[in-house]
Structure 1
Amino acid sequence: MTERAPLKSLRRTVVTMASVCLCTALWSQTVLAQTQPQRLPTLPLSAGMHIIKAELALTPEQHQIGLMHRTSMGTNEGMLFVFDRPGQQCFWMKNTLIPLQIAFLADDGTVVNLAEMKPKSLDSHCSTRPVRFVLEMNTNWFTKRGIQAGSQIRGEPFGTPR
């Protein structure tokens, strides 16, 4: 038994429309993800007596989005980027709307170097030596608290519970 031509045509049209709807939905989801701030699980870190609520960015996609599209961040909130291997880590601020200060951290949580980063800038800010951890906080956060190269950030990722 064979299908009639109109039924075959209708079936093709339905399949095509379903495919278009699926593609549109996936595209919309991707665009939304690229324009909305991501929210990630947090963990506590400490810098002396200061407790930090750090969102944990583990994957390349999470690293790429970072703190983009946020209009504000709490005083003691930040984002900790964790990389698989030590390397020279470089960051810029495309689509990041708030000024940040960045700390490049050794495996034990020692601050290797700091940098101030301006919003919406493609200026690159890099670690001065290979690191696996990078912590972004509001602008001047580390400086206002006397935290500088050689200071210690403590917490689970560095093998030292807070």
Structure 2
Amino acid sequence: MPDGAGEALVTPAPGCEMDEVRLRWGEGQARFSVEIADDAAERSQGLMHRKSMARSAGMLFIYPKPGHVSFWMRNTLIPLDMIFLDERGVVQRVHSNAIPLDETPISGGPGIFAVLEINGGLARAFGIAPGAQMLHPAFGSAAAWPCAGAGG
């Protein structure tokens, strides 16, 4: 059924849920439980004022359309890795260990549709790098790793 924005709502395949992301690359995979920030207020608040976050958790920022996005760490108390993805769910850039409370802009570059924030150092520890693919319903049927192929 249409959601009012002209897009059809799709029931996620098993293993493809709104509150979870999976990443795959070469021989590696990772899974994180995520909070979704998909409107201006949620994206503005982000992970500010939190003193900790579970190792397996993160926040997925989703934008209405691909563009140039930039983040900073104002009022953010924990170091974060920022994983910038295009509209197909392919990692374009990873910024490691963003410094708490630093207001220096962190650019994801052009064509960014989503950003995954996880605890600082985890991207490197797992081996998440440009070219990795994310499984999440936000990327739709044109995703590099579409939900329809999520089984198993």
Distance 2:93 2:100 in 1: 20
- More relative contact order, 1 or 2 (CA 8 Å, 6+ apart): 2
* Length, aligned pairs only: 121
Q: Which residue of 99, 107, 131 maps to 1:150?
A: 131
Query: Relative to total residues, which structure has the larger strand share, 1 or 2?
Result: 2
Describe how 1:32-111 pairs up with structure 2 within 5 A: 43-48=19-24, 49-111=29-91
Partner-residue secondary structure (3-state), 1:153: strand
Contact 1:53 1:76 in 2 (8 A): yes
Percent of aligned pairs with the same amino acid: 32
TM-score by length of 1: 0.71
Contact 1:107 1:158 in 2 (8 A): yes
Q: Which residue of 82, 93, 97 maps to 1:113?
A: 93
Q: Which residue of 2 aligns with 1:138?
A: 119
Deviation at 1:107, TM superposition (A): 1.1
TM-score by length of 2: 0.75
Note if 1:128 corresponds to 2:104: no
Contact 1:112 1:129 in 2 (8 A): no
Question: Rg: which structure is higher?
Answer: 1
Contact 2:87 2:111 in 1 (8 A): no
RMSD: 1.2
Q: Which amino acid aligns with 1:106?
A: D
Render the CA deviation track for 1:12-32: whole Å, top value 9, x for unaligned.
xxxxxxxxxxxxxxxxxxxxx
Q: Which residue of 2 aligns with 1:38?
A: none
Contact 1:69 1:96 in 2 (8 A): yes
Distance 1:90 1:76 in 2: 24
Partner-residue secondary structure (3-state), 2:73: coil
Displaced runs of 4 or more, over 3 A: none
Deviation at 1:128, TM superposition (A): 2.3
Render the CA deviation track for 1:77-135: whole Å, top value 9, x for unaligned.
00000111211100000000000000110111110001121000101111122211111
